Amino acid sequence: MLKRAILVSAMGAGLMVATVASAADAAVGQKLFETTCVACHGAKGISIAPIYPNLAGQKEQYLIDQLKAFHDGTRVNPIMQPMAAPLSDTDIANIAAFLSSLKP
């Protein structure tokens, strides 16, 4: 019984560490955004032209879903696909965390 309690506690602690370690980093996302996205979507996520969407304040999961769709080709856009193609899942999560933290 004691061994099982220790194992369950250790597993729970491992889940907590994994959750904390996988949290998106908005500061890293900002740096990625500034080197990849800012030319069209503006420094603060407000686009430079009406043809580009404003991204500031969008819901984080929405941004993740859209970037992943561009990344894997399920959403076709000749401008966004090459921009999203080199991004990892972590990059996408970090960019989404940054953009969702901005005021619209």
Assign residue 91 the CATH number of its domain: 1.10.760.10
Residue 69 falls inside a structural domain: yes
**Per-residue model confidence (pLDDT) at position 15:** 43
Which residue numbers in the chain have pLDDT < 50? 2, 4-21
What's the confidence (pLDDT) of residue 33? 97
Residue 5 within a domain: no
Looking at the structure of the chain, the number of domains it has is: 1
Q: Are 76 and 28 in contact (CB under 8 A)?
A: no
Residue 18: inside a domain, yes or no? no
pLDDT recorded at residue 94: 98
Residue 1 lies in a domain: no
For 51, the domain range is: 24-101
Instruction: List all residues 6 or more positions away from 64 whose beta carbon is below 8 Å from its beta carbon.
Output: 92, 93, 96
| pTM for this prediction | 0.78
